[in-house]
Structure 1
């Protein structure tokens, strides 16, 4: 059982955990804590460390509500000075163990969560815009290369280039047809 809480103020420990670690009865630990707090702060100015704990009923009945005190590290250490050396050592070792545990992440407010979502969305939009610009630049570069290789031919004309063998019978017929057509156009005055 771990009745530990790590708060922004630091580690706290429940009177129930102190009772378990020291082997003392919980009501005796509560008595010791109340006596210590009275001596430290006076009867009329006692700080409130009280909390209600719900624990399972060992006989299987309804859960049991009981009172426990959650003490900050300072008060735990002051309480321990009244206990024997082995008991002090157990609790101090446990406090150090609890402090060495990684701290849970801080809870974010709704506003902070929304701000994180907005920031993430803006980064995504910027990355997509950068990607789109890179694609546009690549297309322009390819068009420039094609223009340089083919003269003033457009990329659309490149697709019409034949990859057939120029010596094949079909290629010879096509070439002869184009030459006749060109000659007819020149004789009619269409091409000068």
Structure 2
């Protein structure tokens, strides 16, 4: 819920008492975000934004001057409006009594210091959401995989798995890779399918152990990774 403290160097300022963004930022006027208004009035944020734009249009004002960008829970940039109390009250005049009361009550809490503005509550984006940080971690994970003796596809998938575990980011998925394939494409089978073709039918866990015993794969961090010997014979799903 957004209310911030911004400034009014208003010079009987603007028609209808509206403050451009430049003035609001120099003032000590509290503002309330369109997100907060949406939550208090139980309206969709997009509808509140539309109401604000319609209001500004009727007042012959540029709504973009009250625009603000924030990061949502997925660290994506989203747009909202920050309104001083005057503009907020004009907006809610068109709402029913219950909704008006909820917004006005919130203003009393903000002005009395009983509540913290939403803008101040917003957390900084996690470092793991930074693309440069993601690339750095991915490169270090790949170096580590190679240091442990992995190469080719095995090194890539090991590094991808490590990066995913550390920061929740998959470099291979980010590049649109759904699988890593052997240079020569041949028909491949899962351990379950191989077990079903065996006589007698064999549990896929036992099939994995047989493949390990044959030197074709090793189990690393609960994931079967092909050895150099096994790589030409497999396709590795991510």
TM-score range, shorter-chain basis?
A: 0.3 to 0.5
Rg (Cα) greater in structure: 1
Question: Which is richer in helix?
Answer: 1
TM-score normalised by the chain length of structure 2: 0.38
TM-score for the superposition, normalised by structure 1: 0.46
